[in-house]
Chain A
């Protein structure tokens, strides 16, 4: 017997769980289908950065809106999600860095946003006394911070469940089929029927998009992270550098979490990632270069999750370009966590109101129409 709901959401990472909650709040019945378990992949194992800082301009309005939700997350979810307003800084290590950051700050102001500002050496070293001595200044977002990604994803799921959403874990979705106004999603736990499909399947989102005739050039990537022993509290803001792929934060329990863009290898079919040791060494070197006192600190574990990377570095968010009743929100290219709260709201708006209050044009799946052409050509030849 098929299960029926207004909305079936494929993928229970933060985007899917947030969509489930917001759809319930709009009175839509929801079934979430998840091939592993809630928060199993990127949403559960990322660095937990909650930032507006240094986002692609298209993402800024969404990120700013999402931050409002973050600042009330405990009321919304009944869980503080480990959210800390620690500030986030992006450090200039060289004069060229500083110029880049200043240009950036101006650009953000020109767009009408005030959350990013430049600070000079004096304030930088007041805020981050453990920083190596060579830094010149930084771009700061004072009310950015970090949270616990697994805890946050589960909190969205829990709240959505309390409001009546159904989550089916260990349940893999097959390509959906439409019969008139009804979508059928075959799954390993039976068929789910709904008027609307939401594709929040992360690095696996392209399978669904391709089945609907709108493939996107998503690449599964595996950004690596490492975590250390507990240390005495020595740093408050989350720190990145304009010169390096690295993000550094000290968690409330004293451990230091070091992440960034250095990549391992992803095997999405096997739910596996392999670590790249030279990349880990580069990450360790970046941390040591910025925080010399960390040289003796012990790294306890390294890992990598599976993220869906799109070539322009921004996600696909919005309605399907080929089929009615389908909405996509995937391909967050390793920085989707902070956007999760607002993405869910956007999805619910699109379904319930037919439009969103936020500008989604840059995220349209139609921008990959040329890719669709290429794929067809490849298949034909």
Chain B
């Protein structure tokens, strides 16, 4: 869906992290929501009401659509955090499906 345009590629180190068990890469310090989008992921969670797929909307911490589970902690806004090496990210699911 999104890619880093070459003109704005800082070209520094990258980090490896996991989303839903899949290993992904992104530039070090990139906003986590942006890091997921740049890896083609647009579904970050399920709506707790109907389970409908949801993805980021405002990217500034207002809409709460980008909620993901980061290293086991749920309810984290992906747009408010930077990606880091070894981060384990999962979609936030409806409570019935949580382990």
Interface string of A220-233 (1 = CB under 8 A from B): 00000000011111
Q: For the complex, is A186 an interface residue (Cβ under 8 Å from B)?
A: no
Which residues of chain B are near A298, meaning CB under 8 Å?
A: 75
For B98, the closest partner residue in chain A by CB is A232
Complex Cα distance A230/B67, Å? 13
A298 → chain B closest CB, angstroms: 5
Do the beta carbons of A229 and B75 come within 8 Å of each other?
yes
Are B95 and A230 in touch, CB under 8 angstroms? Answer: yes
CA distance A44 to B96 in the complex (A): 28
The minimal Cβ–Cβ distance linking B44 to chain A, given in whole angstroms, is: 16
In the bound complex, residues from chain A placing their C-beta under 8 Å from that of B95 are: 230-233, 254
Which has the most chain A C-beta neighbours within 10 Å: B73, B74, B95, B98?
B95
Distance in angstroms from A250 CB to nearest chain B CB is: 10
B96 near A296: Cβ-Cβ < 8 Å: no
Task: Compute how far the CA of A296 lies from the CA of B75 in the bound complex, rounded to whole angstroms.
Answer: 10
Distance (Å) between the CB of A183 and the closest chain B CB?
Answer: 48
B98 proximity list for chain A (CB < 8 A): 232
Bound-state Cα–Cα, A254 to B75, Å: 15
Measured in the bound complex, the distance between the Cα atoms of B98 and A34 in whole Å is: 45
A-B contact count (CB 8 A): 16
Interface size on A, residues (CB 8 A): 8
Give, as a whole number of angstroms, the nearest-CB distance from A292 to chain B.
Answer: 16
Contact B48 A296 (CB under 8 A): no
Shortest CB distance B10–A (Å): 34
Are A230 and B73 in contact (CB-based, < 8 A)?
Answer: no
Q: Return the chain A residue nearest B97 by Cβ.
A: A232
Q: Are B48 and A254 in contact (CB under 8 A)?
A: yes
**CA–CA, A254 to B95, complex, Å?**
8
B73 contacts across to A, CB distance below 8 A: 296
CA distance A231 to B97 in the complex (A): 10
Nearest A-chain residue to B76, judged by Cβ: A298
Q: How far is the CB of A107 from chain B (nearest CB, A)?
A: 40
Which B residues touch A296, using CB under 8 A? 73-74
Compute how far the CA of A311 lies from the CA of B62 in the bound complex, rounded to whole angstroms. Answer: 45
Chain B residues 44-81 with CB under 8 Å of chain A are: 48, 73-75
- Report how far A297 CA is from B29 CA in the complex, Å: 27
Per the bound structure, the CA–CA distance linking A229 and B64 in Å amounts to 13
What is the bound-complex CA distance between A254 and B73, given in angstroms?
18
* Closest residue of A by beta carbon distance from B96: A232
* Chain A residues within an 8 Å CB radius of B96: 232-233
**Chain B 22-56 against A: per-residue CB contact (8 Å), 1 yes, 0 no?**
00000000000000000000000000100000000
Closest chain A residue to B72 by CB distance?
Answer: A296
A254 neighbours in B (Cβ, 8 Å): 48, 95
Contacts of A233 in B (CB 8 A): 95-96
Query: How distant is the Cα of A88 from the Cα of B73 in the complex, in angstroms?
Result: 31
The residue on A at minimum CB distance from B99 is A232
A216 and B96 CA atoms in complex are apart in Å by 50
16 examples of A-B residue contacts, CB within 8 angstroms:
A229-B74, A229-B75, A230-B48, A230-B94, A230-B95, A231-B95, A232-B95, A232-B96, A232-B98, A233-B95, A233-B96, A254-B48, A254-B95, A296-B73, A296-B74, A298-B75
Residues of A at the B interface (CB closer than 8 Å) are: 229-233, 254, 296, 298
Further contacts, 13 of them, CB under 8 A, given A296-B74, A298-B75: A229-B74, A229-B75, A230-B48, A230-B94, A231-B95, A232-B95, A232-B96, A232-B98, A233-B95, A233-B96, A254-B48, A254-B95, A296-B73
In the A-B complex, the 10 residue pairs with the closest CB atoms: A232-B95, A254-B95, A230-B48, A230-B95, A298-B75, A232-B98, A231-B95, A229-B75, A232-B96, A296-B73
